[in-house]
Amino acid sequence: MSNRIDQRFAQLRAANQSGFVAYITAGDPSLDATEQLVPALAAAGVDFVELGVPFSDPLADGVVNQLGAQRALAAGATLDKVLASVRRIRAKTDVPIILYTYLNPIYIHGFEKFHEEAAAAGVDGVLILDLPPDEIAANRELANLHCLKSIRLIAPTTPPARMELIARSAEGFIYYVSREGVTGEQSKLADSIAVQVAEIRKHTDLPIAVGFGISSPEQAAEVARQADAVVVGSAIVRRMGEHGAADDFVEKIVSFVAPLATAAHEARQ
């Protein structure tokens, strides 16, 4: 079933452009700020927004994103409140929204209830960090995700046989984690991105988004020439922490993100 993620990637392909994915922590510094920021990012050229659901015990997040989650939790963010924010955001923008989360909050909420409510709120995809495809086959309740796209991760250490397994269960796009370890800004991109993206393409026709470590327009452009989308998270979240109390918080974040999105879009021109 086609949704906003598929539609946006189709538009990008037609324009011969790579897309830009901005990751932000929902509720950092407040849910009201999130509701203002997401439409502003879309207006500034962001193609997809990943909303991180704040969680107290993350596995894949580096210190910057952990601190973002802590700030959001301290400000009162919960999964229910994040979904309510998405409903309000949908009144302002049609930008594709992907929830980036862990399995624990979803099971506490109720797995089927979560997916029904997320879809009704206007979420387009879910990236569950600690849900491997093997578990879907073993747990029938995980198979029905309604109209939400199930985004899958592939890492530099993923062997080709497992890439094929992951790709078969993926929807929307593949998120290639370009570095081992956790999220965080890097001064230099991994050398293996082009080779790994080419290997993943052998196993899927889905778009491939590349993230982890990208923090400058130059890096975004380099990745955009090799992948279908560029993901930037920690560099944005760090600035959210720095400017969270500023009256012009949204403007400061947008001024950082807009050149990254432009670089991704113009890289192939």
Catalytic site residue from 61, 171, 185, 228:
61
Pair 175, 151: CB distance under 8 Å: yes
- Torsions phi, psi of 61, nearest 5? -90, 135
Dump pLDDT digits (tens) for 152-201.
999 999 999 999 999 998 999 999 998 654 444 455 666 889 999 999 99
**How does pLDDT run across 36-45, given as a tens digit for each residue?**
999 999 999 9
Domain count, the chain: 1
Per-residue pLDDT, 213 = 83
**Catalytic site residue 242?**
no
Region 213-242 average pLDDT: 95
Q: Say what the pLDDT of residue 192 is.
A: 84
Rounded CA separation 87/118 (Å): 9
Per-residue pLDDT at 31 exceeds 60 = yes
Mean pLDDT, rounded, for 120-141: 82
pLDDT mean over 51-60 = 88
Cα(122)–Cα(148) distance, rounded to whole angstroms? 9
At which residue do the structure tokens 């924010």 appear?
Answer: 85
CATH number for the domain that contains residue 243: 3.20.20.70
Give the pLDDT of residue 189.
67
Q: What is the mean predicted confidence (pLDDT) over 130-157?
A: 77
Which of the following is catalytic: 6, 35, 47, 50? 50
Sheet holding 125-128, edge to edge: 149-150, 125-128, 97-101, 48-52, 19-25, 229-232, 208-211, 174-177, 152-154
pLDDT at 144: 58
What's the average model confidence in pLDDT over 206-223? 94
What range does the domain containing 184 cover?
Answer: 4-266
| 47 part of the active site | no
Q: In the predicted model, what is the mean pLDDT of residues 199-210? A: 97
Q: Which two tokens stand for residue 146?
A: 């309604």
